[in-house]
Amino acid sequence: MLDADLAHERDYVAGLYARLEELRAEKRTQLAQVRRAGAVGTMQNVSERDAFAALYEDRLAQLDAVDDRLVFGRLDLDSGEAQYIGRIGLTTDDLQRLMVDWRAPEAGHFYQATAFDRQGVRRRRHLILQGREVKAIEDDVLDADMLADNASLQGEGALLAALDSKRTGRMSDIVGTIQSEQDRIIRSPMSGALVVQGGPGTGKTAVALHRAAYLLYTHRERLKTAGVLLVGPSSSFMKYIERVLPSLGETGVVMASVGRLMPGINAIAEPEADVAAIKGRLDMAEVVANAVANRQRIPAEDRILDVDGRKLVLTPRQVRRARERARSTGKPHNEARLLFVKILLRELTEQMTELVEAGSLGNNADRSYLAEDVRSARDVRIALNLCWMPMTPEKLISELFSKPAVLAACTPHLTLQEQALLLRPADAPWTESDVPLLDEAAELLGELDPAAGRGLAQQEHDRARDLANAKQTLVNMGDMGVDVLITAEELAEQNQERENRQTAAERATSDRTWAFGHIVVDEAQELSPMQWRLLVRRCPLKSFTIVGDIAQTSSVAGANSWQAALAPMFGDRWHLEELTVNYRTPT
């Protein structure tokens, strides 16, 4: 009986792999046809070609990633139907289902059914594969009526085999052996913050990764463009887990350690624990705000400016009035500077005009050139920059920690000893505890080139135009009887010329202001309040999966309780789930 069952499963699995190869060949052919078309025709034609190429490339990447252990289970149901459970869903050309995606609602019975609550399942079969070959099968019989006729092994053999398997130095998925308490957490609703607490060996990280894959499957439309961010404690940890999500059919998740959450910065660990504790405190947000305000200065006395041999006067009162008006706009530092400079240039130009007219015989001459003379004068540019200097986040934080006078002015609440701990050379490498401060500075400073704001407005206008054009294109193609498997949003997204097509994950990695649809945080007990502030800014909807063990907190900036860590950012919009079984020591 067992040999016949094993032969049957091998034949069926071989058929699944054959179907997988058919799909791969089909997508490769489609992709080759699209690429051969080249960049010809209208912009609309080019956009459609790029959109289809992107879809085929993404599907091929998914099909390649799930090759190993494609299928791992089978359910025999009361209805007489047999459902195979695997890493992705597979159907025939006429849509007859061959295999159910493990994240689909009906696949939940594979993990949740028990002898006491069968959920319509008579038998759960584990298929143990090595590569593409079925090496063994194991049955969990849930219907007592089947026991008399079934000679298969009962119990937890599949789980124990997975636990006893050889370690490779890389984390592997647990998709074939997810236990019921893990499955319940994985399939929890996406809204709010879910905290997964568990001791060593309870599979916290595996649950977090499988939950990310489940959410991407269940909320595909919402998360496809916004994306999911997975944050881990270090680069080495991210390398350890990097293969798990692709093996589950998901290749677009952004994975980053806490030291790489600021584009262009690859931070090292903070060498001093006391310094990390100070920088991690929430009141450092006020320090950064003080540092920005410190660069909006009022001179102590009148300043004489030379413009083409004429003496203009810049008074503290003029600067104070311009600063108040610029600050009242609520715009970031670099963007508000535009108004500040505009006001003072106008007042200095009026002075210049009066001086020129006082020494001129004619009163009707064109004086428009004087504004440019004032704006380009060296003394004027130096004076305005000293009052309100355009800044980058890196320059602001570097000067804050390298200049004792600046640090003292911005941290009146810190003791002299704490200020001394924060001081360092201007060329010191960035640390992980600096990253939230750089992010805070970027938020308060805004774009270094204020004209970028107008560029963003133009981009929004262009996107709206492209979306309208895409919708009309799809209507026209529908009228012609063309079946197009792409949405207007996807078509509009591709209607942008780029030297290299970027995925949403790649764009998110390089864009500090990207708003993710969901964030998964591992070893979350180690995060400081300022690091939590950064992460919540990355996900305004506050949809989080937070994984950790408060008892294992090792960072002095970390949390002593989930309430203390999360309440400042999430209020009461979080709930706790606990993992209770240790799989690291199964004996």
Tell me the per-residue pLDDT of 192-236, one tens digit each, with 9 for 90 and over.
899 999 888 888 888 888 888 888 888 888 887 888 899 988 777
Per-residue pLDDT tens over the stretch 513-560: 899 999 999 999 999 999 999 999 999 999 999 999 998 888 888 888
CATH of domain 180-262+512-579: 3.40.50.300
User: Where does the chain hold its CATH 3.40.50.300 domain(s)?
Assistant: 180-262+512-579
pLDDT score at 193? 93
Q: Is 86 helix (H, G, I), strand (E, B) or coil?
A: strand
308: left (phi over 0), alpha (psi -120 to 50) or beta: left
Distance of CA 217 to the CA centre of its chain: 17
Q: What distance in Å separates the CA atoms of residue 375 and residue 349, rounded to the nearest whole number?
A: 8
Q: Which residues pair with 519 in a beta bridge?
A: 229, 544
Confidence at residue 147, expressed as pLDDT on a 0 to 100 scale: 65
Return the exposure string of 27-58: e unless at least 16 CB atoms fall within 10 Å of the residue's CB, then b: beebbeebeeeeeeeeebebbbbbbbbbbbee
**pLDDT at 52 > cutoff 80:** no
3-state secondary structure of 73: strand
Longest CA span, the chain: 118
DSSP labels, 218-287: HTHHHHHHH-EEEEES-HHHHHHHTTHHHHTT----EEEEGGGSSTT--PBPPS-HHHHHHHHSTTHHHH
Q: Tell how strand 90-91 and strand 310-314 pair up.
A: unpaired
pLDDT at 495: 56
Tell me which residue of 224, 204, 228 sits closest to 541, measured CA to CA: 228
Write the pLDDT tens digit of every residue in 145-157: 776 554 444 444 4
Give the C-alpha separation, 498 to 244, whole Å. 30
For strands 133-141 and 121-130, give the pairing: antiparallel
3-state class of 162 per DSSP? Answer: helix
Contact between 568 and 282 under an 8 Å Cβ cutoff? The reply is yes
Q: What is the DSSP letter of 148?
A: G
| Residues whose CB is less than 8 angstroms from the CB of residue 298 and which lie 6 or more positions away in sequence, other chains included | 316, 319, 320, 323, 387
Of the candidates 115, 262, 247, 104, the one whose C-alpha atom is nearest the C-alpha of residue 187 is 104
Q: What's the mean pLDDT in 59-88?
A: 88
Mean pLDDT of 53-59: 78
User: Do 129 and 71 contact (CB within 8 A), yes or no?
Assistant: yes
Most confident of 279-293, 482-496, 570-584: 279-293
Which range, of 301-310, 362-371, 395-404, 546-555, averages the lowest pLDDT?
Answer: 362-371
The total of other beta-carbon atoms located within 10 Å of residue 95's CB is 6
pTM for this structure?
A: 0.75
Residue 452 pLDDT class (50, 70, 90 cuts)? very low
Give the mean model confidence (pLDDT) for residues 292-315. Answer: 94
Q: Within 10 Å of residue 148's Cβ, how many Cβ atoms?
A: 6
pLDDT of residue 484: 57
Q: Which helix (H) or strand (E) holds 134?
A: strand 133-141
Amino acid at 388: W
pLDDT number for residue 56: 79
Strand pairing class (90-91; 97-101): antiparallel
- E-strand ranges in 418-567 read 518-521, 544-548
Which residue shows structure tokens 């799989």? 583
Query: Which residue carries 């695997």 as its tokens?
Result: 86
Q: Which residues of 481-500 are buried (b: 16+ CB within 10 A; e: fewer)?
A: eeeeebebbbbbbbbeeeee
**321 CB burial (10 A radius; 0-12, 13-18, 19+):** middle
Residue-level pLDDT at 456: 46
Residue 205 CB partners (closer than 8 Å, separation 6+): 171, 241, 522, 547
Number of Cβ within 10 Å of residue 131's Cβ equals 10
In this predicted structure, the answer to whether residue 160 has a pLDDT above a threshold of 80 is no
Q: Look at 102-111, 157-166, 178-187, 292-301 and tell me which has the smallest mean pLDDT.
A: 157-166
User: Rounded CA gap, 434 and 555, in Å?
Assistant: 15
Please tell me the predicted confidence (pLDDT) of residue 159.
46
Average pLDDT over all residues of the chain: 83
Q: What share of the chain is helix, strand, coil (3-state, %, to 5)?
A: 50, 15, 35
Helical packing angle, 451-479 and 43-65, nearest 10°? 90
Whether the pLDDT of residue 186 is over 80: the answer is: yes
